[in-house]
Amino acid sequence: MSLVRSVCLFITFLSYLAISVHGQATARPGAGSGTRVGFYSTTCPTAETIVRNAVTAGFNSNPRIAPGILRMHFHDCFVLGCDGSILISGANTEQTARSNVNLRGFDIIDNAKTQLEAACPGVVSCADILALAARDSVVLTRGISWQVPTGRRDGRVSLASNANNLPGAGDSVAVQQQKFSDVRLSTRELVVLVGGHTIGQAGCGAFRNRLYNSTTGPADPTIDPTLLAQLQTQCPQNGDASVRVDLDTGSGTTFDTSYYNNLGRGRGVLQSDQVLWSDPATRPIVQQLMSPRSTFNAEFARAMVRMSNIGVLTGANGEIRRVCSAIN
C-alpha cells in the first residue's frame, strides 16, 4: 500500500471517528449513550432511595421545589448535555446566566449528595442525582414514575455564556423547534416536554410584555380576557418582576393535562406556550395531549429518558464530584 493511500485511509478513519463521537454525544438511549437502569445496583444499592427521600423531605417543606428541580434538569441537559454543570456555583457559571438565576432546589441536590457520600463515597454523580430528583419531583406532584438510566459522570465546565441559547419565554415555535432539534429532540417531544409547565411558575417579567405592551396593541389579543385581568392584578405594569405566577392556571401544583387544555382556551401564560396552540405545526399535538385518551404521562416519561441522555459523560470522561457545587 502506498504512503499516500495509507494517509488518506487514516484521515478517513479519523473523520469517521469524529462523526461517531459527535453522534454518541446526543445518542438515543440504548444506542451507545453509556447509561443504564440499575447502574448503581451493586456499587450503591440505596442510591435511588437516598435521593427520593431527600427530594420528598424538601417537597414536604416546600412543594415548589418540585418544578424547580425539574426545570433545573432541563436547563442542565440543554447546555453541554446532562452533566450536572448547572450545579457548579461561582462567578460566571451557568447558575449566573439570566435564564438560571431563579432556579431553586440546589439545596435538595446538595443534601442528597451529602448522604450519598456518607453511604457510598465517590460513587454517585451529581448529574445522576439531578436526573433521579427530576423524576421524583414529577411523582410527588402526582405524575408518572419511570426508570431512570444512570451512569452519567459530572462535567468540569460551567460557563454562563453557554446558557445563552436555552429555550426562552418569547420563542416562536420555529425557534423552539430549532433549539430542540439541536439536541436531537423532535417537535412532538418538544410539545410533550414543555408540558412540564403544568407544575411550573414564571416571574412576571417573563410575560409582562403580553399584558401591557404587545406588538399588536396594549395587550396580546390571544390571551383569554379573564386570565388577562387576573394576570394584570398579579403583575402590575410597574410591579415586581420577580413575583411568580403558575403557568397552569387552576392546576399549578398537579402534574396533569390541564396545561394543554388551558392553551386551547387562550390561557397560556408564556408566549412560547400559547404559540403551541396557534401554530399549525404543534396544535394537532396539543389537541392529542389534551384529549380524554391522552398519552401525555407515558410520552413524558419516554421523552425525559431521551432528554436525560443528551451529551452524557460516561466511562473515563468527566468526574464524580465530591461536592456538587464545585469541581474536584
| Cα–Cα distances in angstroms (integers) from residue 316 to residues 121, 153, 154, 313, in the given order | 18, 9, 11, 8
**142 and 257 in contact (C-beta within 8 Å)?**
no
Q: How many CB atoms lie within 10 A of CB 60?
A: 10
Q: Which listed residue (75, 135, 152, 210) is catalytic?
A: 75
Helix (H) or strand (E) holding 75: helix 65-77
Give the integer Cα–Cα distance in Å for 205 and 207.
6
Was 256 annotated as part of a binding site?
yes
| Pairwise CA distance, residues 253 & 143, whole Å | 11
User: Binding residue per annotation — 22?
Assistant: no
240 is in an annotated binding site: no
- Type of residue numbered 96: T
Q: In 3D, which of 171, 203, 156, 166 has the Cα closest to residue 324?
A: 156
172 is in an annotated binding site: no
Q: Is 114 annotated as a binding residue?
A: no
CA distance 264 to 286: 8
Q: What angle do CA 285, 274, 259 make, to 5 degrees?
A: 65
Residue 251 per-residue DSSP state:
-
Residue type, 67: P
> Does residue 198 have a known ligand-binding role?
yes
| CB of 33 closer than 8 Å to CB of 313 | no
- Is 73 noted as a catalytic residue in this protein? no
- Residue 81 backbone class (left: φ over 0; alpha: ψ -120 to 50; beta: rest): left
* C-alpha atoms less than 13 angstroms from C-alpha of 205 in its C-beta half-sphere: 8
Is 154 labelled a binding residue? Answer: no
- Would you list which residues are annotated within the binding site for substrate? 167
Annotation: binding site for Ca(2+): 76, 79, 81, 83, 85, 94, 198, 248, 256
In the annotated binding site, the residues are: 76, 79, 81, 83, 85, 94, 167, 197-198, 248, 256
Show which residues are catalytic. 75
